[in-house]
Amino acid sequence: MTALPTPQRLASLCAPAAQGIALEIVAETGSTNADLLARAVHLQQPTLLWTQLQTAGKGRAGRAWHTPPGSALTFSLAWKFNLPLQGLLGLPLAVGVVIAEALRSYGVEARLKWPNDVLKDEGKLAGILIETVVDKSGQVATWAVIGVGINIAQAADLSAQTGRAIGAATELAREPERVMATLLDGFAQALPVFEQHGFAAFVEAWNTLDAYAGQTVNILDQGQVLHSGQAAGVDASGRLLLDTAQGRITIAAGDVSLRIREE
């Protein structure tokens, strides 16, 4: 059985900017997001909860997030922003940039799909779920719990189980602590920038990594096509830009899905 990573080893791999993050590593839990959400307003510093097995993970709109043992890097990061809730607009996209850039530093050809997926070879490599708790202790502040799952094992069975293409970065399985340290370094640098400048500071990087740029796509809501057009990146608020027959429109990230349009 593989030894559980240790906070001490992980801390030794992190850059100085990430040393202020409290590190917690467990063998198993239901949901890292649920665990940190329950504690968020009592936390004294940014906190990572990394689990080797998650038994009740969830994705957008309450969908199940499947993580068989040893198949994923599964963690949540609780981070306090001195912003009201509406100030976090675009945060999932900024987090996608952090993850994709970290993975690309290991040679993984990660790309981004609006609003909050990281892709590899057109399959979903990583999912992001951000949940929030407003801090009512006096100052205007919001705790964001950033949940991330990154597939690091062959994903054929998972693709069959979920009915969708799943990507995997098996090369990351060799050194998970180093990968996690790289991710934490990225978050420690990027999240203060987001707090100060919002998603506008990340829009250029996101558009550079856009997997669907220039492609003809459908926007779906519960399986029904709402819009069709050519994907044209995102704007400074994180809204999708879609060039349609009637002109350019913007789409906010609700529970809608983006798919390549079959001709």
Give pLDDT tens digits for 33-49.
999 999 998 999 999 99
Q: Which CATH superfamily is domain 7-208 in?
A: Bira Bifunctional Protein; Domain 2 (3.30.930.10)
| 62 C-beta neighbours (distance < 10 Å), count | 8
> What is the percentage of the chain residues whose pLDDT exceeds 90?
68
Question: Residue 153: pLDDT above 70?
Answer: yes
Higher pLDDT residue, 67 or 193?
Answer: 193
**pLDDT value of residue 20:** 97
For residue 169, the number of C-alpha atoms closer than 13 Å in the C-beta half-sphere is 28
**pLDDT value of residue 235:** 96
- H/E stretch holding 76: strand 72-81
Would you kindly state where each structural domain of the chain is located, as residue ranges? 7-208, 216-260
Domain 216-260: give its CATH architecture. Roll (2.30)
Burial of 44 (0-12, 13-18, 19+ CB in 10 A): exposed
* Runs of H (alpha helix) within the chain: 7-13, 32-39, 91-104, 156-162, 176-197, 203-208
Residue found by looking up tokens 């593989």 in the block: 2
Question: Residue 159: pLDDT above 50?
Answer: no
Q: pLDDT tens digits for 89-146?
A: 999 999 999 999 999 999 999 999 998 899 998 899 999 999 999 988 767 899 999 9
Distance CA 99, CA 97 (A): 5
Q: pLDDT tens digits for 64-103?
A: 555 666 788 999 999 999 999 999 999 999 999 999 999 9
Residue 105's φ and ψ, nearest 5 degrees, are: -70, -15
Name the pTM for this structure. Answer: 0.90
Nearest-5° Cα angle at 103, 102 to 108:
150
